[in-house]
Amino acid sequence: MKLCIAEKPSVARDIAKVLGANVAKQGYYEGNGYCVTYTFGHFCTLKEPHDYSAHLKSWNLFSLPIIPNPFGIKLIDNPGVKRQFETIEKLVLECDEVINCGDAGQEGELIQRWVLQKAKCKKPIKRLWISSLTEAAIKAGFSNLKPSENYQNLYLAGNARAIGDWLLGINATRLFTKKFGGNKIVLSVGRVQTPTLAMIVLRQKEIDAFNTEEYWELKTRYRDVVFNAAIDRLKTKEKAEKGLEYLKQNEFEIVSFEIKEGKEKNPRLFDLTALQVEANRKYGYSAENTLKYIQSLYEKKHTTYPRVDTTYLSESLHPQIPGILQSMHFYKELIAPLLLQPIPNSKTVFDDSKVTDHHAIIPTEIPPTTQLSKEEKLIYDLVAKRFIAVFYPECKISNTLVEGQVGSIPFKTSGRQILELGWREVYIKDKKEDTDKKEKDEEQSIPEFKIGEKGAHKPLIHQGKTSPPKPYTEATLLRAMETAGRQIDDEELREAMKNSGIGRPSTRANIIETLFRRKYIERKKKNILATSTGIQLIDTIDDDLLKSPELTGEWEYKLRKIESGEYDATQFKNELIEMVTNLTKKVIHEKAKAIVIQEDTAVKSTTKAVAKKPTKTTWEDLDCPKCKTQKLMKGKTAIGCSNFKDCGFKIPFEIFGKKLTEKQIQDLVMKKKTSKLKGFNNHPENISEGVLILNNQNLVELQAI
């Protein structure tokens, strides 16, 4: 008898139907030489500290770090899990061969391996690896079963990830809670959640520290086209008015006129993160809900496997594309032009070198029924239209650049028109999409200009205010996690960054929800903001290893190397053990600075803490580091001594072209240095990143690292 173990009852039912195992038993299906059983997702977990030693149940600093050797697993404490596991255990003992039918990914591999390990399976194991649950895909998968050994590195990577998260999560959470929690609040620290929270806190501090400034710009209208002065923004109204008077005394002259035709590339197919970003942008869906909707569509056989991080298709899929398109009856009008000629076999869509476990998310040949929920229909529509759009021609555009001058002041303007819609035709009937694109693409119409022509014009002054950085939304936060905090708009560069992003596509939604659940962040409309507890937690953690998105991205890169057999899982574990050990020694010897919470919200480790707004250090609380007799005060452009006339001490808000947050200036005053900073753009020695220090003369220096 061959035993198939699926990850969910519904998947087991689909597989059993294809295999002819039609007799339903308690916890499995039987027939035609097969038994098909299932888990309910995770059945096993790594053992908790008290499973190794009873004294580790209580939290104290003296028992840290906790480093099990070896790590063990146990069943999740749930009666239903225990009953189903007993069924699996019995079937494993009776069968001749096991077929691992878990979800075809790292997490699915880990779930099944742990279950088989717990069941002490000694039988031969094969692996079913499919990207959709259609009958054709299941049949093809069973005709091409692989040895379980082929996926050993996938398991090692998943196991290393779990152990790494345990090592850091268990030790750092106990460490910071006992050191800084004041026995009132649990301070949860994690390999992925902490740098994610740090990004949100940093953005919020940048917003809070931002000083809005007024500015004035010179513009003019010539032949019904608005031109902008190509000079720096003016800081005073007086300068703007002088400039306006100067413009009135001179004619407008065209000095350059250029039209360039170009193409706008087709959008890429969806990976999970891109789908979550688009669903949040367009419909306001959370990442967690989008994953739930696309997972449901996958289980209903309408779309392919969703937990993917590539936007490419396997080259072997190319012959199947016309059949999938023909099955999409709801989109007949859009598909008709594609079926008039062969589907192009483009490397921007089909590339085996960019596909590992699975290809991008696309529709299957089974179109949805009317039984879908409203949300599922909208998510399917996103996937379907993106699938259609990638096979349309590129969008042809025209870019016009015009330069002029009034006296000695240069002016310029630009325009962009769509010449041929191309792939945009797919979205033209989507009213919201059409409106958004029209506003963006159909800029002011620019007539034909001749170089050297002159004429009267209507100059004017535009008054504006500088804007702070925007808070993260779930869409922009997902993108930031994908690129380890780097702001990257280019799709190809973003694709290359995926191996070193924070977390994996399948886990990012859960990380964000965990931060909400622990009250470290909150949602205001679409914006994600850090709570006072979240801010205090990040301020308490001095170790950049825990907070740095880039360093966490490096760990993720190593995990992917383990998956590909290019890095040793034991080495990864030992590196984390060393990091946790050093962190423990460092934090234990730090001066305690308890997180402030409301007096009536003392909590145990299982309850939720309600944070009180922290007492904020004001400049009036700090002594001037130079004269040491006066307090500091905040001015328009700097923090300085309240007796600046005699003392002369100050720290500008902008140093070497980088704007500093108040927290960074406080670090300079109190700690004599900041953490590592980036974004210096006018240092005399071209240093762009480093640590600011307050030297012995109480002057600010930038030290490269």
Q: What residues act catalytically? A: 305
H helix intervals, 541-600:
544-547, 549-563, 569-588
Of 174, 180, 170, the closest CA to residue 60 belongs to 174
Encoded amino acid at 275, one letter: L
Strand pairing partners for 619? none
| Tokens read off for 153 | 């590195």
Please list, in sequence order, all residues whose beta carbon lies within 8 angstroms of the beta carbon of residue 581, skipping any fewer than 6 positions away. 65, 67
Q: Quick one: how far is CA 80 from the chain centroid?
A: 34
Answer yes or no: are the C-beta atoms of 308 and 359 closer than 8 Å: yes
243 in helix, strand or coil? helix
| Tokens read off for 675 | 């953490």
Encoded amino acid at 451, one letter: I
Burial of 107 from C-beta contacts in 10 A (0-12 / 13-18 / 19+): buried
Sheet order of strands, 28-31 included: 23-25, 28-31, 34-38, 2-6, 97-101, 125-127, 146-147
H helix intervals, 313-395:
321-327, 332-335, 374-389
Of 274, 275, 346, the closest CA to residue 317 belongs to 346
CA angle 262, 264, 267 (to 5 degrees): 165
Burial of 699 from C-beta contacts in 10 A (0-12 / 13-18 / 19+): exposed
665-669: list long-range contacts, CB under 8 Å, 24+ apart: 665/639, 666/617, 666/622, 668/692, 668/693, 668/694, 668/700, 669/622, 669/625, 669/632, 669/639, 669/694
| Tokens read off for 33 | 């030489």
CA angle 221, 223, 229 (to 5 degrees): 30
Answer yes or no: are the C-beta atoms of 617 and 666 closer than 8 Å: yes
Of 481, 494, 521, 464, the closest CA to residue 219 belongs to 464
Distance CA 293, CA 360 (A): 16
Strand-pair category, 472-473 with 689-694: unpaired
Phi, psi (deg, nearest 5) at residue 536:
-65, -40
Answer yes or no: are the C-beta atoms of 228 and 217 closer than 8 Å: yes
Encoded amino acid at 77, one letter: D
253 in helix, strand or coil? strand
Strand-pair category, 521-524 with 632-634: unpaired
| Tokens read off for 149 | 């050994």
Phi, psi (deg, nearest 5) at residue 23:
-95, 115
| Tokens read off for 221 | 């209208």
Strand-pair category, 34-38 with 2-6: parallel
Q: What is the DSSP letter of 301?
A: T
Strand pairing partners for 147? 126
Chain position carrying tokens 């072209």: 657
| Tokens read off for 434 | 């059409």
| E-strand stretches of 533-688 | 632-634, 638-641, 650-652, 654-655, 658-659, 677-678
